[in-house]
Structure 1
Amino acid sequence: MATGPDFFAHWERMAPVGADRASFAEFLSVLRRTPDLPDLWYEFARMLKAKGHYELALAAYEEALARGADRPEEIHLNRGVIFADHLRRETDAEAELKEAIAHNPDYAPAWLNLGNLREEVGDKSGAIECYNRILPPTDETEAPHIDCRHEALARLWQLVPPNSLADPFLGRLEAAARSKRLLPPETRANLFYALGRSLDALRAYDRAFAAYAEANRFARKAGPPYDRAAIVAEVDRLIEAFPTAARRGAGSDGAPEPVFICGMFRSGSTLVEQVLAAHPAVTAGGELNLLNRITEADLAPFPQSIRLLSDAKAERLAANYRRDLVRLFPASAAPGSIVTDKRPDNFLRIGLIKRLFPGAKIIHTVRHPVDTCLSVFFQHIDQTIVGYASDLADCGRYYSQYRRLMAHWKSVYSTDIFDFDYDRFVDEPRAQIQSLLEFLGLPWAERCLEFHTLKNPVKTASYWQVRRPLYRDSSGRRRHYEAHLGPLIGELESAGIEID
């Protein structure tokens, strides 16, 4: 295997630019002295992945494998995650996960990730097969990667939902959720979320709410304490940083501006993206982390740094964003193409979006406030991102600040923000799609009404919902849980938000 000067010169040429260049060079200098230690290459790969340099991380993992790293299945798993979650190369991801399983046929993390990948591409039977391979023992017997095995059990509820309250699967799910076995809090939370959804589907609403409450109790343990004042201060800073429309930059030399889909989590963003993905001119980008990386790596502290942002730097950041978009979605380089960036909390970055992309269109997804907050409470969302989600009163407080910020953005960028109303879409899909396409300057496409037939990967918690024909189950869901919604409704009403 190569370790000579040319080998390391090649790595030096691949060095990232910017703030990460120094740490890259430092690690590389250590590798020059001890190039044959696979664990060092493994740690190098982990560092590169954490900093968002995914292609470099893949190359470093490959060097670790070439040098005989222990537990090659773990490296193939990590490579599979990079391909699936960050590079959108599902075929390569599947190959890596299968390679991990070839090294260790009982490696539960690889089976779990392969099942999740198959769910994302709509392969229900394939996902069921993967999860069934690694289900936990029905007694207290220990097994390797017991947390992954319980995660597989939690995932199965949606693929083979219990058909009655007496269904043995429901009993097994509840027993696992309430067992004395030592499990990570996020795994315990997922078992209770799955139990809640199963009971909700069986219309046992009070029991479902109790399960969801337990799920959120464990979810809170998995994340940092929620700072209720932080969102108020953040909205204040954003309004101060972007008091008026951002001055228009030089544009994009004729390249189409990206389309951003944002709003509260669980407000229909995956649905609207899937509708647009059915249009021949649109590629669904999913929940991209590109803007978030810009604010953290290039504009910290954001938004205070905006007052110092020059046109030249703004154009460079916009060019970097477009470059990354083309890398992920080569079709986006074609004239007239549109790629959607669907990260719900980008509503916090609308001012930045308009500074970098003056012509950008914003699709703002809206839904009844109580249904939105209840759906957030019923879904396990990363507590480091959505710390308010595990408490209904906190959901209401956060929602009021979201509405305050959106009112500001609309006062500044009114013609570039389109409200896509989930509840109205359920009632009159054709009219809502027509208005949406007109906003984007796109011709009508009948196929947009058949969004549920698409075979594209969907990388959010809604991937099975958007593969169903339009349904009304989630619109008005709050009515089943009215007895439990006092804290949420109280917060919304105190903020002057209309409930009905």
Structure 2
Amino acid sequence: MISSSVQALLSKASALRHAGRVEEAIAAYRQLLNVEPQLPDSWYNLGWLQRQARHFEEALASYAEALARGVSKPEEVHVNRAVILSDQLFRPDDARAELDRALALNPLYLPALLNLGNLAEDRGDRRGAEDAYRRALEVDPLSGLALARLAGVTMDYETDDLLRRVGERLDDPALEPAGRADLGFAQGRLLDRAGRYSDAFAAYRSANDAVRASAGPSFKSYDAVAHERFVDRLISTFDRPTTARAEAEPVVFICGMFRSGSTLGEQILAAHSKVMPGGELDLIPTIAERISPYPEAAANDEAIAGARRNYLRGIETLDAGSRLITDKRPDNFLHIGLIKAMFPRARIVHTRRNALDNLLSLYFLQLHPDMSYALDLGDAAHWYGQYQRLMAHWERLFGEDIFTLDYDELVRDPTRVTEALLHFCGLEWEDACLQPHRVKGEVKTASVWQVREPVHRRSSGRWKNYADEMRELANRLGSDWPEKA
């Protein structure tokens, strides 16, 4: 039984955690555990909070304390450690070891099996991913997520059987919206693979509707007016070129619309001996979120200096040595003004592709409900127009430091475009850059399997398979839209 003074500290820490006051809650849990360290659940909560605050090594240590002190459901703690090791600290072997420990404790632990499959996908291990998802379905035959992921990794010859299984699950009226979304996107992919394009589009439409439903009352529809105002504020705040620093910057930022070829661009650079791929780092959005009000408060030398320090601290986990790091977060295009304020000599690779292909691919991608513009083609087109407006502004300010990597040009003439990209990044030619599919290591992206293939042109002009469905969008935007796309 704990004393009243310890109970008071515990209540305070818990209240701060529930209130979302992360740093204060961390301090409170530290105070509590200094007084009474034999509280495994409190060590667990401290680890969770440290993860939210991006103190990843400290979170691992706190989770280890929870395990050492007999926390309930230790398999859950091992999975949490695995996610940090894989997603934040880029240590996939250690992440795999944590998942193996979780499954040794509980072979039927579904989150461990799903994460094991996801880790295998990131590493290009199709057989390992398929095995993990099949094991997950043996544990829970009704798991929509396991079936959806299995559909994403299996080969073409199994399309018919998987379509039947997915369809049977979707026919279940008791299926929750989140599971309906997972399976709906899987069904769309399978139908597209089978060339049943009209059916595929209908499946994707239902899947996007299910994403909305899965958010419940908290769902916020895309607000076109608010987004236009935000873009106005970005343009107003960052309205002049930055003063260049003497030293070169350690990072190349790759950004643009989601599904515009950013992963392929990063893989081309990752094939170079002097480049360290960082993947979709969340550092810039996190930094922007902590500047209030954003963007106006970013026009402050002290805020920018702090942001630069935080970013550099965040990429220390990459262990890049003298190599150039790539930060491939597509929606960083919103924050190019902030990036250039932090890193005046930063190079920006702007990825772009045919607009109709881009919007279609975005509509076919399962995203978080917070990205509500992607759930409707009309909203996505509006977002695309604002993206074009903002990029035009950035190019006026920072044109010499922005390289436009056009996906359609790249797949038509990979040698010429790759040569220009390497030159822009200050890199010598290396033949390996023409074979980005051979790059070893993790790839965390929705297009994980596409980038494991040699560069091809199959996705260029894909919208033509859906010309009837896209015509409505073309009419809303003007009859000449296809020609402009």
What residue in structure 2 maps to residue 324 of structure 1? Answer: 314
What residue in structure 2 maps to residue 12 of structure 1? Answer: none
The counterpart of 1:289, out of the listed 282, 289, 296, is: 282
SS of the aligned residue for 1:471 comes to coil
Q: Which runs of 5+ in 1 are unaligned?
A: 1-18, 137-142
Report if aligned partners of 2:474, 2:481 keep a CA contact under 8 Å in 1: no
Structure 2: distance between partners of 1:315 and 1:225: 34
What residue in structure 2 maps to residue 375 of structure 1? Answer: 361
The counterpart of 2:408, out of the listed 410, 413, 423, is: 423
How many residue pairs end up in the alignment?
A: 461
Report if aligned partners of 1:114, 1:130 keep a CA contact under 8 Å in 2: yes
Render the CA deviation track for 1:456-486: whole Å, top value 9, x for unaligned.
Answer: 2101111110000112221101111111124
Q: Which runs of 5+ in 2 are unaligned?
A: 1-20
What residue in structure 2 maps to residue 215 of structure 1? Answer: 207
Report if aligned partners of 1:370, 1:488 keep a CA contact under 8 Å in 2: no
TM-score computed with the length of structure 1 as normaliser: 0.88
What residue in structure 2 maps to residue 200 of structure 1? Answer: 192
The counterpart of 2:346, out of the listed 357, 360, 375, is: 360
Render the CA deviation track for 1:102-142: whole Å, top value 9, x for unaligned.
Answer: 11001111011001101100111111111111116xxxxxx
How much does 1:404 deviate? Answer: 0.6
What residue in structure 2 maps to residue 227 of structure 1? Answer: 222
SS of the aligned residue for 1:443 comes to coil
How much does 1:23 deviate? Answer: 3.0
SS of the aligned residue for 2:76 comes to helix
Structure 1: distance between partners of 2:27 and 2:468: 59
Task: Give the direction of change, closer, same or farther, for the CA distance of 1:494–1:291 in structure 2 (3 Å limit).
Answer: farther
Structure 1: distance between partners of 2:164 and 2:446: 24
Report if aligned partners of 2:75, 2:101 keep a CA contact under 8 Å in 1: yes
SS of the aligned residue for 2:37 comes to coil
The counterpart of 1:180, out of the listed 167, 173, 196, is: 173
5 Å-filtered alignment, 1:269-418, equals 269-297=262-290, 299-307=291-299, 309-310=300-301, 312-325=302-315, 327-331=316-320, 333-334=321-322, 337-384=323-370, 386-418=371-403
Structure 2: distance between partners of 1:76 and 1:349: 35
Structure 2: distance between partners of 1:368 and 1:349: 23
Structure 2: distance between partners of 1:355 and 1:466: 32
User: Does 213-222 or 266-275 show the bigger shift?
Assistant: 213-222
Structure 1 position 450 matched with structure 2 position 452 = no
Structure 1 position 160 matched with structure 2 position 150 = no
Task: Give the direction of change, closer, same or farther, for the CA distance of 1:209–1:95 in structure 2 (3 Å limit).
Answer: same
Structure 2: distance between partners of 1:88 and 1:492: 43
Task: Give the direction of change, closer, same or farther, for the CA distance of 1:41–1:490 in structure 2 (3 Å limit).
Answer: farther
How much does 1:495 deviate? Answer: 11
Task: Give the direction of change, closer, same or farther, for the CA distance of 1:82–1:492 in structure 2 (3 Å limit).
Answer: farther
Report if aligned partners of 2:356, 2:482 keep a CA contact under 8 Å in 1: no
The counterpart of 2:256, out of the listed 256, 263, 269, is: 263
The counterpart of 2:106, out of the listed 104, 107, 118, is: 104
Task: Give the direction of change, closer, same or farther, for the CA distance of 1:494–1:67 in structure 2 (3 Å limit).
Answer: farther
Task: Give the direction of change, closer, same or farther, for the CA distance of 1:188–1:131 in structure 2 (3 Å limit).
Answer: same
Question: Counterpart amino acid of 2:237?
Answer: A
SS of the aligned residue for 1:260 comes to strand
How much does 1:429 deviate? Answer: 0.6
User: Does 108-117 or 471-480 show the bigger shift?
Assistant: 471-480
User: Does 32-41 or 64-73 show the bigger shift?
Assistant: 32-41
What residue in structure 2 maps to residue 7 of structure 1? Answer: none
Structure 1 position 61 matched with structure 2 position 63 = yes
Q: Identity of aligned pairs, percent? A: 44
Structure 2: distance between partners of 1:356 and 1:457: 28
5 Å-filtered alignment, 1:104-123, equals 104-123=106-125
Name segments (4+ residues, structure 1) moved above 4 Å: 494-498
Report if aligned partners of 1:41, 1:63 keep a CA contact under 8 Å in 2: yes
Render the CA deviation track for 1:316-371: whole Å, top value 9, x for unaligned.
Answer: 4323322321x22112x32xx21000000000000011111111000000001111
